[in-house]
Amino acid sequence: MAQKAKIAIIIYSLYHHVYTLAKSVKAGIDATGHAEATIFRVAETLPAEVLTKMHAPAAPELPIATPETLTSHDGYVFGIPTRFGMLPAQLKAFLDSTGQLWATGALQGKPASIFVSTATQHGGHETTALATLPYFAHLGLIFVPLGALSPNGIDEMTGGSPWGAGTIAGGDGSRQPSAKELETATAQGKHFATVTAKLVNGATLL
């Protein structure tokens, strides 16, 4: 009997674009029947005063990720809104709190994937994923890219790359994830669930 893989989608999302994508990733994971996903958010590090000045809405109502979230799940999908072309301090703070897991090799061989949001087309879609990989390398995580499932048409502006699904929020955050971007996020969820379930169940599944 195949074991259902437990997947944690771990996000930071100040203006909820990443959160919207996360829900499509979860739908893709859950639809496979091989895995079930829970969405977590990392703790905020900015003071309330700064968040007010940034016109941030209330944070998504999600459980807060801890290092225990990583040990209790079989795979991770990180949702990352770019900051200066790389991952935000909030996610770094979370990943920097996993030193004990690194030291003990507790996550060695588990799969991990990435999806992103940027304000502009060239504001860091690929570099944000690239800047996250050193964490995966140190923690022993296996990077699962979007690869050939990446959208490659040029008929409309679209986020997403071989590194992972993505959306383009616009400079003022007014653009919402398009149908194609949400479809790509769902496809990533399905692919990641399949890979994770294979790892969890060894050669017996699928």
Ligand X SMILES: Cc1cc2nc3c(=O)[nH]c(=O)nc-3n(C[C@H](O)[C@H](O)[C@H](O)COP(=O)(O)O)c2cc1C
| Cα separation, 197 vs 68, whole angstroms | 20
Nearest residue to the partner ligand X, using Cβ: 123
Measured from the CB atom, the residue of 6 and 175 that comes closer to ligand X is 175
Instruction: Report how far residue 186's alpha carbon sits from residue 193's, in angstroms, rounded to the nearest whole number.
Output: 11
Under rule CB under 6 A, residue 126 binds ligand X: no
DSSP 2: P
Given the rule CB under 6 A, which of 81-89, 139-147, 148-156, 185-193 is the region that contacts ligand X?
A: 81-89
If one asks whether residue 124 binds ligand X (CB under 6 A), the answer comes out as yes
CB of 108 to ligand X, least distance (A): 30
Q: Which of 33, 52, 55, 84 binds ligand X (CB under 6 A)?
A: 84
Applying CB under 6 A, among 16, 26, 180, 190 the residue interacting with ligand X is 16
Q: Residue 118 or residue 158: which is nearer to ligand X going by CB?
A: 118
Binding to ligand X by residue 62, rule CB under 6 A? no
First vs last C-alpha separation in the chain:
12
Question: Which residues between 103 and 122 bind ligand X (CB under 6 A)?
Answer: 117-120
Q: Residue 11 Cβ, how far from ligand X at the closest point, in Å?
A: 8
d(CA 205, CA 3): 9
The reply on whether position 182 binds ligand X by CB under 6 A is no
Determine whether 45 is exposed, middle or buried from the number of CB atoms within 10 Å of its CB (0-12, 13-18, 19+). middle
Q: Is 134 exposed, middle or buried (0-12, 13-18, 19+ CB in 10 A)?
A: exposed
Query: How would you class 74 by CB atoms within 10 Å of its CB: exposed for 0-12, middle for 13-18, buried for 19 or more?
Result: middle
Interface with ligand X includes 145 (CB under 6 A)? no
Nearer to ligand X, 25 or 101 (CB): 25
Look up residue 82 and give its DSSP letter: -
Contacts with ligand X by CB under 6 A lie at 13-18, 81-85, 117-120, 123-124, 169, 173
